[in-house]
Amino acid sequence: MYSDGKASGVGTRKKDERPSKTARRAVSEMIELQRRIFERQRKTIEASEAHPSRGFARYKNEYRKSVKGYVSESGFGALCDAIARSRIAYVADYHTLAIAQRTFVKLITGIMYQVDNLVLAMEFVPSIYQAELDRYLKRKIKEKTFLKRIRYRENWPYDIWPNFRPVFELAADHGFPMIAIDSDASAPLSVRDRQAAARIAEVAKRFPDAIILVYTGQMHVAPSHLPSAVERAFISADMPTPRRVIVYQNAEEIYWQLAQARREHVEVVKVNEESFCVNNTPPLVQQLSYLHWIHYDQHLLEYTELESTVRSLIRNLGRFYNLPYKKAVESVRVLMPGDLDLMAFLEEANISLLDRRQILAAVEAEESACIPKMNAIYLATLSINHAAEEAAHYLRYSVSPGDPPEAFRDRLYFYVLNEAVAFFSSKVINPKRKTDHQGKLRQIDAEARKRGGKPRPDERAAAFALDHLMLERGSRLRKRKLRSISSPIVFNAAAHMLGYMLGDRLYYGMTSGVIGKKTIRDLFLTPLNRPNEALDIYFSLSDMVRSVRIPSRI
């Protein structure tokens, strides 16, 4: 979304004041919106996972029952004290979320000076590679050799080693024994629990006075899963039932409850007498970290440094184009799906009901948006590509504010050029970014024709973009062609397709010397809202870069 206007100030309330009825309603609406997005993302994630459906569903439900609520707020110190008094602590991991691994490091450092002996049991390494793990911790083999020997690339579909490295370095530096407990990933989860439990029981016998910190996937730590299997293994080994602590991370139901009470900032809660939950990331953002890996998008922002990163992107793009960027850097606010202030922000901002509905529609559709009327950028993703794109939108608005033109055709090219500038800028930040061109559009169009029936919005947009590419050679769009994208959804998709393709060609036009950086700088500074202005510039630029070769894609 790209529009003009000044954002009104957003009210803040004092800590001792009860939130107003309007504020409570806004929070409830935001939570319901987050839940809808969360469930949609959950289905996408589950569709990508290969588990025996019946067994996995039961296993998952048992985990969800264990984190359906909490009894009281707590703190990190109390959590560390509880771990220090235990025999075994089970800490949940969300593999693709870097802050989850940093939390484990924080727990280790929080208790390491309270206890005499500490052992780490890690799911990260299969137990058959224990000897290689020992060699690595003793500095007898290099990191590259270690990862190759434990078949890291084959065992992990996503590159999470950089996030786990600090755990291994901490163990090596302080001499903490580390035990590999993972097993065949294709085995049923209950079987993997039993095998890990046997390893943990062996370790407990070898280190009778040590506290064992077990770091494993979040669903494994439910009481009826790995902890129960460990108890049985201890009994079989003639050892007393170990005193345990379970540490969950970012359980969604607990987050929703805290959020409803406007206590989402609480770092740690007590789930029951033996369990805690650490809250450091909203559920939607945690899911996003996994969805990015599914789609092989590894250029991710750190959630905890989101706003500072976007400000840095605006600053760097401003310097690159030699544009005044200070105002944009200072004024921008960055929001995400997990931001509960979004609904209250919309309630209090000086925007129309239509604008509010359009913003909420973008949120629910999981689309990022630049919202100049609120001095805000909304990011539906942690992708650096999307952040750079919206940063460019915001920078352009800052240096060349103005309403989009009213005439339909002028408005189309206004948005197309805005998307071209934004996509170009995202490639300045990440030159490897790709977009679809004519071949992909033909594929979409052919599949729609083959299927028959009413085409979807993206198919209608692709058909329009294909017609447009054919008409660009000296022609202009006829009114009937413009009517085919009268729907806001189709209009938006068509503007993105045409803008991205032009932005891609402009980028390679610059790198091949066909155009200069000044051409893009002029696009930032030109209002593009006078009659025929955007249209004429679009066709002029398209003609300039028509012969530019786009590198082949893998």
Domain ranges in the chain are: 21-50+299-399, 53-280, 405-554
pTM of the predicted model, to two decimals? 0.69
Residue with tokens 């075994």: 88
Task: Give residue 438's identity as a one-letter amino acid code.
Answer: Q
Half-sphere exposure of 504 (CA within 13 A, CB side): 19
Please tell me the distance from the alpha carbon of residue 270 to that of residue 82, in angstroms, as a whole number. Answer: 11
For the stretch 487-536, pLDDT in tens is: 888 888 899 999 999 999 999 898 888 888 899 999 999 999 999 999 99
pLDDT value for 5: 30
Task: Please give the distance of CA 260 from its chain centroid, rounded to a whole number.
Answer: 23
Confidence at residue 10, expressed as pLDDT on a 0 to 100 scale: 28
What is the C-alpha separation between 520 and 420, in angstroms, rounded?
9
pLDDT for the residue numbered 52: 54
Strand partners, 90: 214, 246
CB 535 within 8 A of CB 409: yes
Q: What is the structure's pLDDT at 2?
A: 33
Q: How far apart are CA 148 and CA 341, in angstroms?
A: 45
Q: Could you give the count of Cα atoms lying within 13 Å of 24 in the half-sphere of its Cβ?
A: 6
Residue type, 341: D
Single-letter amino acid, residue 275:
S
Quick one: angle between helices 384-399 and 306-321, nearest 10? 60
Phi-psi region of 139 (alpha: psi -120 to 50; beta: other; left: phi over 0): left
Integer angstrom CA distances of residue 407 from 217, 530, 535? 55, 10, 11
Beta bridge partners of 88: 212, 244
pLDDT, residue 545, reads: 93
pLDDT at 8: 28
Give CA–CA dist 535/529, Å, rounded. Answer: 10
Q: Residue 3: its pLDDT value, please?
A: 34
Which CATH architecture describes the domain 53-280? Answer: 3-Layer(aba) Sandwich (3.40)
pLDDT on residue 65: 95
Query: Which stretch of DSSP H or E encloses residue 442?
Result: helix 438-451
Cα dihedral angle (131, 132, 138, 141), rounded to 10 degrees?
150
As a whole number of angstroms, the longest Cα–Cα distance in the chain is: 86
pLDDT of residue 4: 31
Which residues lie below 8 Å from residue 336, measured CB to CB, with a gap of 6+?
Answer: 282, 284, 285, 303, 306, 378, 379, 380
Comparing CA positions, the residue from 452, 453, 553, 551 lying closest to residue 505 is 551
Residues of the chain where predicted confidence (pLDDT) is lower than 70 = 1-27, 30, 48-54, 293-300, 338, 340, 473-483, 552-554
In this prediction, residue 19 carries a pLDDT of 55
Angle made by CA atoms 174, 177, 183, in degrees to the nearest 5: 135
Q: What's the angle, vertex CA 360, arms to CA 259 and CA 45, rounded to 5?
A: 65
d(CA 86, CA 81): 9
